[in-house]
Chain A
Amino acid sequence: MSPAPSPARALASVRRHLHQMGAGVAVVGMLGLAAGVFLLAWLLVGPGWAAGSPAPLLLVVVGLLLLGAGGVLLIRFLRRWGSDEWLTREVERQAGLPRGALRAQLELDRAPPDGASPALIHAGSATLLARMQGPPARLAGRPGQGLARLLRTLGGVGAVLALLATGALILAPERSQAAVGGLLGPTAVLAGPILPPLELLGPETPIARGDRPQVRISAPERPRVTLHWQLRGEPVERMAVVVTEGHGAFQLPPLDAGVRVWATAADGARSPELLLEPADALLLTDLSVELEFPRYMNRDSERLRGLPAELEIPAGTRVTLEGRISGDGGELLLLHEAGDVAIRLEPVGEGGVAGAWQPVRSGRLSWTTRGGEVDPLRLPPDFQVTLVEDAPPSVALPRPGGDTELPASLRLPILLEATDDVGLARVELWVAPLGADGQVGDPEVQVVPLDGRRELRLAPTLELAGRMPPGGGELLLWARAVDVSPAGQEAVSPRYRLRAPSEAAVRAEARSRVGDAEERVESLVGRSGREARRLREQAAEARVGRSGSGGDFQEREAVREAARGQEALGSEVDAIREELAEARRSLDSLGDADGGLSERISALEEILAELGGGEEAQRLSELMESLESGRRMDTAEELGRLAEARETLQEQLEAALERFRRAALEESFQGVEEDLRTLVEQQAELAKSLAGHEGEPEAGGGSPDAGDPDAGAPDDQAGVADPASTQEALMAGVDPVRERLEELARRLQRQGDDAPSRAATEAAEQLDQAREAMERAAEAARDGDSGGAAGEAGEAGEMAQKALDEVEEARRDWMEAFEEALRAALRQGAEEALALARQQDDLRVRMEGVGRVERGELRSDEAALVQGIRNLANRLEGVNRQLPEVGRELAGALGDALAAGERTVDQLGRSGLWGGGRFDESAALTAEALNRAAILALSGMEQVGQGGGEGSAMDQLMEELESLAQGQEAANQQAQASAGEGAEEGQGASSTEEAASAQRAVADAARSLADGDVGEWSPGDLDELAREAEALAEALESGTVDRELIRRQEELLERFLGAGRMLERDGPTEEREGTPAGVVERPLIPALDPELLRDGRIAPPSPDELRHLTPAERRLVLEYFEALNRSTPPGGAGGGGEL
């Protein structure tokens, strides 16, 4: 419970207030005094208190005195005004109480007299309290106000001083630290020892401009000092320097101008200032160097300011030095290392010097003077002159980069690079024929002038057609570069041999171009169709929207664009034709070995040559002229005409496309067959060689050649250096062929030729099997198993042969199907033309004596006939595309028939009283033209039979020969059976008859073949074969069966088989080479080992031994052994019948 308020308590609160104010004044005053003392010390300390300085002590003393004085005054003030007497008087004055009222009340409250009424005393207190309302600050009156005012004043001053002190602390912490340090230890400062002064010592020698002078500091009894320096125009910089044993040193930055240097220490010591001025070291100023390069470099002269430490210049450069010289340096010279004078600078004008020389050798040059006193420091430094000689150029042909085979097109892209350090004058490209005898023919050179370029990189394509030396040989290619130097330095690239492309490569390239042409024609078909549709739409729009025949600008532009598009299409057709022509020309080197490819390509060119030419081209040209001249035109009509031209072109292209597709397929077949044939031959060769390897180590000494080190093995070994690699190389060639087979199968299927497509797919599968066998062969060869490798290689060859047979059969089937379809179409066409001719004949009969009414009927019938002729022409269009020559004539005949028929219709429609007349003539012409068309179709049928027909006739001949061979084989077996059974009674005669009958059948067939049409293409003399067959038949019929007859029969069979093989491979192959006959060593054939005949039978070779033979050869071997065994009686050799 708080005590009750009373005047005494109120007075106490006022007194408390005054004391609080006094405390505040004391604190603020102390703080302000401290700040002020600090600030004074900071102002006086400088870099540090000087030793013995009384200032810190004075400040402290003064501060303390002020503090003491202030404290005393404050206490006295507070005592006075805190007493009852003064305080109550002030309170009474402030409260408006009568003087003494409060004091009296206090006394009453403090010591109430005896008899005083407490209530009265209390009431009096209350009355006084009521009038003493207000805060103690108000009741404090004048002393309170004075203290408040003093507090505010001291607070403001103190705040300002504190702010200043804070700023001094922040901005100059070291100085502040020094000031405070002095204040805290004023006696130490006063009593500090007086240290020796600081001294600075600069360099003893003049300082060259740009040098870094070293300043030495003497600061005894000090651990460190602060070095200050100020360059002219720059701010002051400082650095603390450690002093060791009273000495220190510091290297100033490079001097370009005067600098003031001084040092200070923590004890406030400061050294005198040192002024350092740099001295100009160079005697030569404003030195410039002009370089004049040799004229052939075609390079502007250069000017350098100052002289570099190293001067690298081309040899022949003239150097001119210019500068200003200060002082009397005498004669200024540049000397070589050897001491000889390189250049002497001569006075030029006022204070200038100049000199020029052409350095002839690299080296270091130094300056010197002759006469005059010159401080060496004032001479320019030495410098190095390096002469760079003009290096010869370099030239290379990174492409081809080495000997190479030319592509089939004989266009070789090359890359030529040449460089020179100064510049190239020219680059030359040389091509020279290299004959088979190694003689280099007259070269051709192409010069590329360069005018000083330093680098050249060219990627031209060389056209080498016509440059290949005749009769084989190669081309040499090289490049030569010459630089711009007066000596004309040159460089020559390596010479590369360019071999002519192989025939297969040339053909493959030409075929590839045919395929490309097909794709381009197909693209053009689509494009012309789209453009035709667009033009039709534009024509329709123009027709609807036009207001006059002039056409507006947009329509004319549409016409212009369409005309240009038509020209562009024509250009593309020409481009395709040119590509084909180029392909054809590339085949020129093959001569007859191109397999007719040149002719086929030529036919395709002719197709393209007929497109869009003639009248249409003329019309287009006139249209372009009209557009250029701004002549008025009917744009709708022109657009329509151009659309029609596009459509016509599209039709022509579609017709051409069929031929191109067929040509491309044919070339695909040819290409695949060629590749397969090569593969088969090479595989057979490898198998044979491997088989030869297998036999060699086991060969005994029976042969006189066995001891001849030059015979047999070395040559054979040279033929197949690495069978495994050879097999792998062949294996690598299988995949591309397989891909082409698959592509061929796809194309055939797209065209609806399913059977040939399946055959091609089957051939691809057989090729896969061949590849697997090759893989096994290669593996066996790597393992050293020659026998196994030979067997597998042989099997691979067989599979490849099967694939080839499959492809050849597919091609024959495809061609036959096509030819048969053509023949059927022509046959049908001939029949239909004849049917129309017969109709016309019937109408002609009716025309005789016909009246007006009947003429109307006839006219309608004739119109129907004319429509029929149109139908016939449309039906024969496909034939026309495939047989252009026949088609042209056929179309001509049908055209004549159509024209004549239309004239007949027209004439029948004219009024006339009498029938007959000229319409009969027209009708006669119509019939004649239709008959002609029928005849042309029939002759075209013959041509199809003949044209590809040589193939089909040859196929037929091959079939016949195969049939003859089979018949002969059967006859041989019969005869051999008859001879084997001759010893048995009663059966020999019937066997002989059968043999004779079989032989007679063969003779008859051979005779029929030799005498027939097919025999015209037969290789060899079929007639002779027939005669031989007949002679054998006669012999058998007479009962003669002897060894000679059997031999002749075997020989006849071989001749039949040989004739068939010749037909199959009727062209020369690249690998076929004729070699002159050599001496044939005929080894003596020893007698058979009797042990072989121990059981009366001669064992045939084992399957392993037969693996490397072809099936036909195996059959012959086995039959031979069978015949041998049949002819050998049991129990011994040499006996047995006629054999």
Chain B
Amino acid sequence: MALAQQSSPHARKARSTSRLMLWVILATVPGLLAQTIFFGWGNLINVVWCIVIALAAEAAMLSIRKKPLAFFLKDNTAAVTGLLLGLSLPQFVPLWVSAIAVIAAIVMAKQLYGGLGSNTFNPAMVGYALVLISFPVAMTTNWAQPGLLWESAPGFGETLNLLASGQQTVVDGYTMATPLDEYKHKIATHTAAEVLEHPTFGEGIARGWEWVNAAFLLGGLVLIGLKIITWHIPVSMLAAIAVMSLAFGSNPDQYAPVTLHMLAGGTMLGAFFIATDPVSAATSHQGKLIYGAAIGVLIYVIRSWGNYPDAVAFSVLLMNFAVPFIDHYTPPRTYGHHKARRGVPGKTQG
């Protein structure tokens, strides 16, 4: 009788990393659905394309690194990276641009750093920032005009053709400036009321965008409910954006209103699905609060006073730099200790 020899604990909860990632993927479905309804087929095509490229790039890198393919591919993390890029790129961005973003994410930001768990920076945001800087035209002029899928947007085949054509800009009529972009550039010369007449805002806060953000918020709440993410980063990030907006941008004739900050652009996707990437985020509860809040502040600063209309990617990447530092100074207080041991061993003692 050969008895199994194992180290304790012997009982395990059956919730694997690949299962967690699957839940993350499922939680984006409402958002993707809303994007498709209001902005056409672009995001869906992007998502599928990006996932395919991501898996291919991951597989290529794994085979170069002589790692078992199946074991690593089934953790679903490459798929999540592709998915997040597909969700955040403009609807009409050429396929080759999104491919570059995905390859940069998987090859540079993830595998060259040592693969899953070893990346300092959020891979999807590295890819996003790279193409945003390299191909600013393709990345800013290709946002779909909001409208219901069954009414105005180009059909699936036409969308695919446009994406595959390789043109950096798509013929007008299908695209439109994003609400944040529109507001940022018009408010200098117009009043708030005049700016809001633009069709991108629609009748609510930001046509289409408000639903997309609400759907990502819903997905995010599901993740919190399933204890796949904690509330700390999303809440502190959203709170920071709100506080910044109310403190510095309360005048709508000067700055975008708080509702626009919350429900336009990549705010909710960023708060629940991107900033919460555990590998590149801070660790402890306190650290997460600081990390999330700092991202929120940076998003507001860049949106209001920087060159870019949206800023999730840059803010997340900037805070990725700060994570080791935050982690050193925010460990929790351990049971039986008076206070937390902050800092680096040998330098400060708690």
Same complex for A and B? Answer no
Binding site for A on B (CB under 8 A): none
Binding site for B on A (CB under 8 A): none
